[in-house]
Amino acid sequence: MDEIKIRPFDAANYLETDDDIAEYLRVVRKANNSQLLNAALSDVARAKQKAQRKTATTQ
């Protein structure tokens, strides 16, 4: 039987636009959970870093 390979989910991979980020944070804020908000802010920071690296490599 073949081994199934999976990667951990990372929301930062899907936060591609400012609208994506705004909607993500809006939904997280509705949960009223400070730990979830901290995790979401970390996701947003990683998404911004990925976008910045992507832009730097295409220039």
Give Cα 31 to chain centroid, integer Å: 17
User: Could you tell me how many helices (H) and strands (E) the chain has, helices first?
Assistant: 2, 0
Q: What is the pLDDT of residue 58?
A: 77
Q: What is the pTM of this model?
A: 0.82
Q: What is the pLDDT of residue 16?
A: 95
Q: What is the pLDDT along the chain (59 residues), one digit of tens a residue?
A: 789 999 999 999 999 999 999 999 999 999 999 999 999 999 999 999 999 998 888 77
Q: What is the pLDDT of residue 57?
A: 82
